[in-house]
Chain A
Amino acid sequence: MTEVHVAGVGLTHFGRHPERTGRDLFGEAVQRAVTDAGVPRDDIDHLNYGNFMGALAERQAHQAPLMAEAGGLQCPATRYEEACASAGVAVREAVKSIRSGERDVMLAGGMERMTNMGTAGATEGLAIAADELHEVHAGITFPGAYALMASAYFDQYGGSRADLANVAVKNHANALGNEYAQYQREITVAEAMDSPPVADPLHLFDACPITDGAAGLVLVSGEYADEHAVDAPVTITGTGQGGDKMALQDREYLAQTPAARDAADEAYAEAGVKPQDVDVAEVHDCFTIAEVLALEALGFYEVGEGIGAARRGETTRDGDRPVNLSGGLKAKGHPVGATGASQIAELTRLLRGDHPNSDAVPDAEVGLAHNAGGTVASAVVHVLEVAR
């Protein structure tokens, strides 16, 4: 089976760009990824594109060929939609296409335009990732669904709002030097605690922002990299996907995410690594509680133990295993359909040594990206390794 190399990565600034079209955002990400890779655009065989709610945000469906065009790609394109895990799935399917020998060079990425919808519109749009009949009718919002998970976690395992605030503080601190991040400013535990409630126990600073942005990756086969002397030291060595029932009420667990556990188990097995081998991780912290649930599902902590990780300093920049050195969804921003690819772009930069926070993990060899859809009814995990 051929290796899959990350030859190039491209990100737009994540933030408020209400007047920028989706095609403009994605075109910029592709331009940067292709430039970073140094691979001829014409060699790209296929675009795998992630997008969640472009039909609502821009009244634009059938986005894949439009985005190939925006990127100047002369190849077919397919859109992947798996809510917030859309780009993770797009990357995973690209990895599988290259491994199968079907394709040699692929562009995998995604885009979301959200701030033009306003807070109410985006809240409504995000809610469609939940079960329309049994959840949305009952007033469940995206923060509300994660609040139910947080409430159940507190009830079953303990923990406090202060523990969650420490996750937010950590991720804001990590975003400080990241030029692509939406919030490049520090916050305090007190500020986070005092922010207004969105859905108890989650407050405003427990939530990721509404974000416009795009991400792209150029992925190439080992044969192509060798033949064309592509400088691509980072490889994707494991990919996994898991699923769960759509509505929280139909799940076995309210405070665990077995879909992420299953995805991680598959990715670890493919890569031949264990949770303790992971040096640095980007996890899907759409809400602070989501990072906690991810740490446990990925096997970094026992169930019920992940809540204090940030407070204890174990997942901070100076900790044993830094998590979300990019700033995470919380501070870097969460353009839904781009997030899964942006995590791999950030990990690649961290492992290559050209990320502003690479100095926090100078010897890192194994990175992990965890991308979740909805309330983790779907999850994708990738393991990345760097040749040192």
Chain B
Amino acid sequence: MSTHGADETPRDAGYDDWLDGIEAGEGIYLSCPNDHGSLPPRRVCPHCGSPELTEEPLPGTGEIESVTVVHVAAPSHADDVPYATAIADFGPVRLTGMVRGVEPDAVEVGTTVAPTVERTETRDERVLVFRPR
């Protein structure tokens, strides 16, 4: 399995750039003329195939739509358990990330969260994190 630490190469162009943006507080999403949202890396809109994608500012907060607490992880996240992973709704797009700043079992659907980039315990790899706002 590949690793994706910030100091390691090769990077995944598009995806790592997207994480850089969130880390710098300048998160983006991609929008097409039909107002479909998506996340990089993309060449066309996954919902309609339009090649006319523009970068738009990612809303600063989202709302948790579904959450699970993972107790049995893959080796890449073995030392992070138990951790909450959630899908959060940011309006035009949803994001998937780990939830920190609250006990995993206490994370609830509907919680307002902000995205950030932190590091995993296990391999010190970058990971998208949601923190309650």
Contacts and interface: CB of A to CB of B under 8 A. Distances in A.
A295 to B, nearest CB: 20
B12 A133 contact: yes
A2 to B, nearest CB: 36
A143 B74 CA distance: 11
B95 A199 contact: no
B70 A199 contact: yes
B67 A144 contact: no
B74 A124 contact: yes
A199 B98 CA distance: 13
B24 interface: no
A249 B72 contact: no
A24 B120 CA distance: 40
Please provide the 5 A-B residue pairs with the shortest distance between their CB atoms, ordered closest to farther: A147-B68, A249-B94, A152-B66, A124-B74, A200-B69
Nearest to A249: B94
A139 interface: yes
29 contacts: A119-B72, A123-B74, A124-B76, A133-B41, A134-B15, A136-B76, A138-B97, A139-B80, A139-B120, A140-B96, A147-B68, A148-B66, A150-B68, A151-B66, A151-B67, A152-B66, A152-B87, A155-B66, A197-B71, A198-B71, A199-B68, A200-B68, A200-B71, A200-B105, A247-B96, A248-B66, A249-B93, A249-B94, A249-B95
Interface in B14-49: 15, 38-39, 41, 46
A249 B38 CA distance: 10
B46 A249 contact: no
A196 interface: yes
A55 B66 CA distance: 33
B106 to A, nearest CB: 12
B73 interface: yes
B78 interface: yes
B75 interface: yes
Interface of B: 1, 4, 12, 15, 38-39, 41, 46, 65-78, 80, 83, 85-87, 93-98, 105, 109, 120, 125-128
Contacts of B97: 138
Contact of B72 (A136, A137, A199): A199
Contact of A123 (B68, B73, B94): B73
B65 A144 contact: no
A197 B77 contact: no
Main secondary structure of the interface of A (DSSP, over half): helix
Q: Which of B4, B41, B70, B128 has the most CB of A within 10 A?
A: B70
Interface residues of A, number: 37
A139 B98 contact: yes
B75 A120 contact: yes
A137 B87 contact: no
Contacts of A140: 70, 85, 96
A254 B87 CA distance: 10
A120 B78 contact: yes
A139 to B, nearest CB: 5
B68 A127 contact: no
Contact of B39 (A134, A136, A149): A134
Given A124-B1, A247-B96, A250-B38, A138 B85 contact: yes
